[in-house]
Structure 1
Amino acid sequence: MKDVWQTFLDQRGALVQQLGQHIELSLLALLVAVVIAVPLAIWAQPHKRAANFLLQLTGILQTIPSLAVLGLLIPLVGIGNPPTLIALVIYALLPIFQNTYVGLDEIDPAYKEAAEAFGMSRWRKLVKVELPLAMPVIIGGIRTAMVLIIGTATLGAFIGAGGLGTMIMTGINANIPAMTFIGALAAALLALAFSAGLSVLQKLRWRQVLLVLGAVVVGFGGYGVYQAVAAPKDEIVIAGKMGSEPSILINMYKLLIQQADPSVQVTLKPNFGQTSFLYSAVQNDKIDLYPEFTGTVVTSLVKPSKAQNAAIAAGSDSYPIAKSLLNKEGLTLLTPMKYNNTYAVVVTQAFAKAHNIKTISDLARERGLIAGFDVEFNNRQDGYKGLQKLYGLSLNVKTMSPDLRYSVIHSGKIQVTDGYSTDSQIRQYNLLALQDDKKLFPIYQGAPLMKASFAAKHPALVKALNKLGGRITETQMQKMNYEVNVQKRSAASVAKAFLLKQGLLKEAK
């Protein structure tokens, strides 16, 4: 409990911000779902066939895995709030539609006959008789939808939508159980609070319910206007992939940019997601820049020619090739850092010694080994697919979150995993990165990736970030990762300490 309390004190600012994001996204999704599902159920009530079709359709939509829905929506609407909002609305439709339909359908026919006897029109009968009687059941459906939305909204953090999922992901990634617990507890308490609030609405008249919902809509509208007016005119958004290293780098970027221009507002989005999410975000102006690696560019983001691929395979510097191909896409990669953060195939020192394994070719002799790979590595040509093709490696692969793989191999549940040469866990868990004796993995040097137009508009920013060019060795990067992952220092403090020591940042007076 002491760790939980201390983590809460350290993260309370971020917790409040993420809680606000979670509430905003959840309420907006609920309102949209209510606006769609309630009128649709009212229309379908006298049309039995249409009602059955809609019930089956909303039921089918709810069975689709949430991550699959997000993945399908990204090519259509990008990343961030839009795909998350659509996914949440999809999951909320069934309980709201179902309860509205059932609530109206199960009203005692005597009440409807009495309304007709008084000469009420279809609309007046609905407003005066049916909705008031069905309202408790309708609110029950809305309560169920709200709980589903709040729980599912945590997945929005995987595609940059923010919310409490960010804290949960960060805790898992940094191996800080207290942070994961706080994020999960906050989401659970939020669901309970909203459920309790909606239970109060069940006791109100339907006009009062509409008044409350109207107040929420007006409040959101006002807050949206305020955000648009109050938003900084020159804001730079920097995102990073999951892990300590991207978090350290984006904090370095922020400090260097603010030193060059203190008037600029810099917003960081750590643990934003996988490579495809970030690349799409830059292309669609959702973020301004993020740290990328030359090897990833030439293997996953652009299509080098056969001659270029041959040069890369022969060990040529991939930066000029990556930069020239990105320029054709309207993007640019600044001067890369010194260290080569290449992929690595990792085993325990004990396993390597017992089986006399030093290289990936040695590993290929073994059969029946269980591997735990990140989903992205498992599907990359410079990942497991390349290992199969070049080395003939055949493993029983279990895909898992990258933040879990080291603890799993340390526990002995798997024998092989993927990693990066600068990962602190290699040192922490006494692991061995096998020699890539057939040179599958190209050189991975990190540099800020951004739109060429953004770079042209911010020459001072480019100059500031290029100060990192040719700096940071593998030893230095692994040490910084160790400080964050093992010693539990914040990425911001580690980044600042390094820049100060290297003379790249001036100490504030």
Structure 2
Amino acid sequence: MNQIIQILSERRGDLGIALLQHIQISLISLLIAMVIAMPLAFWTVKHAKVAEFLLQIASILQTIPSLALLGLLIPLVGIGTVPAVIALIVYALLPIFQNTYLGLTEIDPALEEAADAFGMSRMQKLLKVELPLAMPTIISGIRTALVLIIGTATMAALIGAGGLGSFILLGIDRNNTALIIIGAVCSGALAIILSALIKWLEHASVKTALGVLAVSVLFLAGSGVYETVVNQKETITVAGKLGSEPEILINMYKELIEQGDSHVQVTLKPNFGKTTFLFSALKNGKINIYPEFTGTILETFAKTPVKTTGLSEKETYDKAKELVNKQDKLTLLRPMAYDNTYALAVKASFKQKNHLKKISDLANIPNKLKGGMTLEFIDRGDGFKGIKKLYGIDFPVKSMEPALRYQAIDQNKVNIVDAYSTDSELRQYHLSILKDNKHNFPIYQGAPLMSNDFARRHPQVVRSLNKLAGKITEKQMQEMNYEVNVKNMDPGQVAHHYLVKQHLLKEK
């Protein structure tokens, strides 16, 4: 409980922003879904076969897993709020359409005939008779849709749309239960509060319902105007992948950029999502900068295979810089010192018991191995696929989220995991890295990645970020990760302390 209170105190600003983002995404999705579903339901009241067809389509759409739907939308509309809103609209259509249709079709035919006898037009009958009678059923559908939207909107954090899901993802990544609880409880509380508000509308007049709708629209418009007015300086958006290390780095970027140019304001998007999400967001102009690794560029983004085995740090960087410049019109600045390469790690006791020093030694004990690895590592040519091919080793592996694989090896559910050489968990769980004696893993030096156009228009930003070139050793990075993940220090404070200590930033 004390940890929850401490995090709420330290991150109240972040929580407020995440809550506002969650409300915005949810209300926008709900309103658009209502605008689509309700008129269709009004029209199909007289067309039963069409209504049945649309209900089937809406039902099928709702069965699509949220991650799959987001994955399908990203190539079409990019990263961020837009694909998140589209996905949420898809899930909200069924309950709103279904309840609106049922509410209207279940009205007593005698009341319909009475309205016709009074000479009411179609619109008058809808507004004065049908909607008031169907209102409880319609509102019930809207409530169901809203609760569904608020719960599913936590997935928006995976693609950089923000919201309360950012707390949940951060908690999972750092094995911090307090963060997960805060995100989940706030999401649940928001659903209860807004659901109660909508329930109040069940027996309200059409005029009152329209008034609440107008207030919601004004809230969304007002929050957008407020953000525009507040951010009068030029805003540079810097994003990072999931994890403590990217968050530390982007905080360093922020301080260096703002120190170098007082006319810009840096907005951070930590825990933005997977590598491909960030790369797509950068190319589509959703973000301006993010830290990427030289080996990742050659292994993941090259449209034609690039040989990385045996390359030196300079050769790897030169190839990566040339590739993204020619292929994607992106600029990769000079890299930092440390090599955050992939590795295979085991417990020190397991290593000693089985006489392991290098990866090739695993060939002596394949039947004893139980792997827990990230899905990305399992599927990469410079990951497990490369290990099997180059070393001729194969053993059963379960795919796991990054933080979960370390918990699994600590609890002896697996005995070998993939790792990054700067992971704090190596120290935390007393794990040892096996030497990559056949050089399967490329060099992974981190460096800021941005578009050529942005680099050309912001030479001062380039100069500021180049101050990190050749800085940060592997030991220093692992220690900073340990401070964030284990000691629960704020990534911004850790980043600031390093910059001041290295005389890259003036102490305020």
Is TM > 0.5 for Structure 1 vs Structure 2? yes
Equivalent residue letter for 1:359 = K
Cα RMSD over matched residues? Answer: 1.4
Equivalent residue letter for 2:321 = K
Task: Report what 2:458 is aligned to.
Answer: 458
Cα gap change, 1:168 to 1:45, in 2 (>3 Å): same
Task: Report what 2:34 is aligned to.
Answer: 34
CA apart distance, 1:251? 0.8
Task: Report what 1:76 is aligned to.
Answer: 76
Q: Distance in 2 between matches of 1:281 and 1:462?
A: 20
Q: Distance in 2 between matches of 1:295 and 1:144?
A: 46
Q: Distance in 2 between matches of 1:77 and 1:386?
A: 33
Task: Report what 1:369 is aligned to.
Answer: 369
Q: Distance in 2 between matches of 1:465 and 1:342?
A: 22
Task: Report what 2:25 is aligned to.
Answer: 25
SS in 1 for 2:470: coil
Task: Report what 1:355 is aligned to.
Answer: 354
Tell me if the contact between 2:334 and 2:466 (Cα under 8 Å) persists in the aligned partners: yes
SS in 2 for 1:46: coil
Tell me if the contact between 2:233 and 2:263 (Cα under 8 Å) persists in the aligned partners: no
Equivalent residue letter for 1:471 = K
Task: Report what 1:313 is aligned to.
Answer: 309
Aligned counterparts, 1:97-116, within 5 A: 97-116=97-116
Q: Distance in 2 between matches of 1:364 and 1:342?
A: 22
Identity percentage of aligned residues: 56
Cα deviations by residue, 1:453-487 (Å, 9 ceiling, x for unpaired): 11111111111111111111111111111111111
The answer as to 2:319 corresponding to 1:298 is no
CA apart distance, 1:304? 5.7
Q: Distance in 2 between matches of 1:253 and 1:167?
A: 22
Tell me if the contact between 1:34 and 1:96 (Cα under 8 Å) persists in the aligned partners: yes
Tell me if the contact between 1:368 and 1:396 (Cα under 8 Å) persists in the aligned partners: no
Tell me whether 251-260 or 384-393 shows the greater mean CA deviation: 384-393
Aligned counterparts, 1:195-274, within 5 A: 195-274=195-274
Tell me whether 226-235 or 293-302 shows the greater mean CA deviation: 226-235
Task: Report what 1:324 is aligned to.
Answer: 322
CA apart distance, 1:359? 2.0
Q: Distance in 1 between matches of 2:276 and 2:122?
A: 52
Tell me whether 169-178 or 141-150 shows the greater mean CA deviation: 169-178
Cα deviations by residue, 1:425-457 (Å, 9 ceiling, x for unpaired): 111101111111211111000000001111111
Equivalent residue letter for 2:179 = M
Q: Distance in 2 between matches of 1:136 and 1:385?
A: 57
Equivalent residue letter for 2:401 = S
The answer as to 2:443 corresponding to 1:443 is yes
CA apart distance, 1:384? 1.8
Tell me whether 351-360 or 497-506 shows the greater mean CA deviation: 351-360
CA apart distance, 1:232? 2.8
Q: Distance in 1 between matches of 2:116 and 2:229?
A: 51
Tell me whether 229-238 or 453-462 shows the greater mean CA deviation: 229-238
Q: Distance in 2 between matches of 1:128 and 1:153?
A: 35
Tell me if the contact between 2:369 and 2:396 (Cα under 8 Å) persists in the aligned partners: yes
Aligned counterparts, 1:111-126, within 5 A: 111-126=111-126
Tell me if the contact between 2:347 and 2:430 (Cα under 8 Å) persists in the aligned partners: yes
CA apart distance, 1:368? 6.4
Task: Report what 1:341 is aligned to.
Answer: 340
Cα gap change, 1:304 to 1:52, in 2 (>3 Å): closer
Q: Distance in 1 between matches of 2:349 and 2:18?
A: 42
Equivalent residue letter for 1:158 = L
CA apart distance, 1:313? 1.3
Equivalent residue letter for 2:483 = E
SS in 2 for 1:202: helix
CA apart distance, 1:119? 2.7
Tell me if the contact between 1:372 and 1:416 (Cα under 8 Å) persists in the aligned partners: yes
Q: Distance in 2 between matches of 1:279 and 1:95?
A: 35
Tell me whether 63-72 or 214-223 shows the greater mean CA deviation: 214-223
Cα deviations by residue, 1:189-246 (Å, 9 ceiling, x for unpaired): 0000001100111120122211210221133223323433443341111001111111
Q: Distance in 2 between matches of 1:249 and 1:275?
A: 15
Task: Report what 2:394 is aligned to.
Answer: 394
Equivalent residue letter for 1:362 = D
Mind listing any 5+ residue stretches in structure 1 that lack a counterpart? none
How many residues end up aligned between the 2 structures?
504
Aligned counterparts, 1:176-195, within 5 A: 176-195=176-195
Q: Distance in 2 between matches of 1:368 and 1:113?
A: 78
CA apart distance, 1:424? 0.9
Cα gap change, 1:395 to 1:109, in 2 (>3 Å): farther
SS in 1 for 2:367: coil
Tell me if the contact between 2:344 and 2:433 (Cα under 8 Å) persists in the aligned partners: yes
Tell me if the contact between 2:33 and 2:89 (Cα under 8 Å) persists in the aligned partners: yes
SS in 1 for 2:236: strand
Q: Distance in 2 between matches of 1:282 and 1:78?
A: 10
Equivalent residue letter for 2:334 = T
Equivalent residue letter for 1:315 = L
Task: Report what 2:64 is aligned to.
Answer: 64
Equivalent residue letter for 1:88 = L
Tell me if the contact between 1:346 and 1:431 (Cα under 8 Å) persists in the aligned partners: yes
Equivalent residue letter for 1:356 = H
Tell me if the contact between 1:8 and 1:179 (Cα under 8 Å) persists in the aligned partners: no
Tell me whether 444-453 or 355-364 shows the greater mean CA deviation: 355-364
Equivalent residue letter for 1:360 = I
Cα deviations by residue, 1:320-340 (Å, 9 ceiling, x for unpaired): 000011111210110101111
Task: Report what 2:141 is aligned to.
Answer: 141
SS in 1 for 2:403: coil
SS in 2 for 1:162: coil
Task: Report what 2:92 is aligned to.
Answer: 92
Q: Distance in 2 between matches of 1:188 and 1:149?
A: 11
Tell me if the contact between 1:168 and 1:180 (Cα under 8 Å) persists in the aligned partners: yes
Mind listing any 5+ residue stretches in structure 2 that lack a counterpart? none
Tell me if the contact between 2:238 and 2:288 (Cα under 8 Å) persists in the aligned partners: yes
SS in 1 for 2:10: helix
SS in 2 for 1:471: coil
Q: Distance in 1 between matches of 2:221 and 2:426?
A: 50
Tell me if the contact between 2:147 and 2:195 (Cα under 8 Å) persists in the aligned partners: yes
